[in-house]
Amino acid sequence: MKKNHTGATLIIVLVVVALATFIATQLIELTSYGQRRTELTLARDQVFQLALGGEELAKQWMTKGFGKEVDKVHLNQPWATTPLEFPIEGGKISATIEDATACFNLNTLHSRSQEVRPLGAPAPAPQPSPRQGGSRGAEDSKKDPAQAIFVDLMQSILTDVEVQPEALAAAVIDWIDSDFEPYGPDGAEDLEYTSYDFPYRTANNWMANKSELMVIKGFNADTYKTVKDYVCVLPGAELNQVNVNTISTEKAPLLKALIGGDLSESDAQEILTNRPEDGFDESSFWEQVKNSKKVSSKRKQRITFKSDYFLVRMEVTYKGATLKMGSLLQRGAKKGAPFEVVTRYFGEY
């Protein structure tokens, strides 16, 4: 009888020891996880503050570089050729600067300052497509120049997509405009998007990020991947000029679309290849364009040789935490005015 009690006592002791060991292990694990979580939270906050500090340094560096009146902005200036790197204890801050106007501003496809169509009013008739015949001059005279440029650009880069460029333009316009009437037969308003399995509504406002294209009718991840390097989003439709001095040679289709007419992609490539080291001015640029006299005045107004908007792409690493931030900077209108932050992006610009 005594032996039975001894065996039961031993089993109880072993169970208690095992339970105590398990609880102690869990407490140590939770304490370790909690400490690591706290360290990462603090590092995340610190890395964000470091990114803001790097942004301020970039603003000062840009202000100093553009302290005097600059007639041209080109890719051989220090802002484009000198990457910014700031070593810090426990990590580093690195940044690159890009011209934010070397792309097509999607917000220019529709001017919300114009009077919108009243609800129930007939939508404007679709304009003739170059694929359906008609001269380029006739097209430009009937279609908004921004829409004509966008259509030309989509035709050049989306060669394997069945969706017509005009349909893509109409869908983007409906995403931006404030009414609820589809822009022609290819438009898409709330009635379209609320019928999806995961319904949503149009923004009815300026686009804040070009990634919004992926939820607009006609676009998907593949088309977005193709067009994302040619388009951008700037605040407002009035920012409609593209700096030809900062268009990379790989983006010849953008220059082709801007000029239009009978300019081929190879001609556009040649123009960018022959660009002077200090960039084009107005006279030297149009000397390079064949049949420049035939280019419509509306398209010529889209060409510029300087920029006021720049994108600072910041990457900060600190104690195992990493942050990528994009800051859109605007140069002040007055001579020597500092750069100001327009908006910040976390993720892709």
Give the span between the Cα atoms of 202 and 171, in whole angstroms.
10
Cα(101)–Cα(309) distance, rounded to whole angstroms? 6
Amino acid at 303: I
pTM across the whole model: 0.77
**Read out DSSP for 196-260?**
SSS------S--S-GGGGGGSTT--HHHHHHHTTTEE--SSTT---EETTS--GGGHHHHHHHH-
| For residues 335-345, average pLDDT | 80
Residue 94's H or E segment, with its range, is strand 91-99
What's at 177, amino acid-wise? D
∠ CA 215-219-220 to the nearest 5 degrees? 80
Q: How confident is the model at residue 86 (pLDDT cuts 50, 70, 90)?
A: confident
Percent pLDDT > 70 in the chain is 86
Asked if 142 contacts 125 with a C-beta cutoff of 8 angstroms, the reply is: no
| Interaxial angle between packed helices 165-176 and 145-157, expressed in degrees from 0 to 180 and rounded to the nearest 10 | 130
Q: Write out the DSSP string of 8-44.
A: HHHHHHHHHHHHHHHHHHHHHHHHHHHHHHHHHHHHH
Structure confidence at residue 347 (pLDDT):
67
SS3 146: helix
Which of 65-79, 124-138, 254-268 is predicted most confidently?
Answer: 254-268
Domain range list for the chain = 42-100+307-349, 105-303
Partnered with residue 231 across adjacent β-strands are 104
The mean pLDDT value for 36-40 works out to 73
Task: Determine the Cα angle at 156 with ends 153 and 158, to 5°.
Answer: 95
User: The sheet that has 321-331: what strands, in order across it?
Assistant: 84-88, 91-99, 309-318, 321-331, 339-346
Percent of the chain with pLDDT over 90: 36
| 309-318 vs 303-304, strand pairing mode | unpaired
pLDDT of residue 334: 61
Nearest-angstrom CA–CA distance, 31 and 57: 39
CA-CA distance, 146 to 210, in Å (whole number)?
16
* Assigned fold of 42-100+307-349: Pantoate--beta-alanine Ligase; Chain: A,domain 2 (3.30.1300)
Per-residue confidence band for 333, with pLDDT thresholds at 50, 70 and 90:
low
pLDDT of residue 163: 81
Q: Which two tokens stand for residue 297?
A: 């005045």
Q: What is the rounded end-to-end Cα distance, in angstroms, of the chain? A: 80
pLDDT in tens, 112-151: 544 343 333 444 443 333 333 333 333 443 567 889 999 9
**Which H or E run includes 225?**
helix 221-227
Give the domain 105-303 fold.
Ribonucleotide Reductase Protein R1; domain 1 (1.10.40)
Say which residue, 126 or 265, is predicted with more confidence.
Answer: 265
The answer to whether 272 and 249 have CB atoms below 8 angstroms apart is: yes
Q: Is the pLDDT of residue 337 over 80?
A: no
Instruction: Report how far residue 55's alpha carbon sits from residue 47's, in angstroms, rounded to the nearest whole number.
Output: 12
List for the chain the helix, strand, coil content (%; round to 5).
Answer: 45, 15, 40
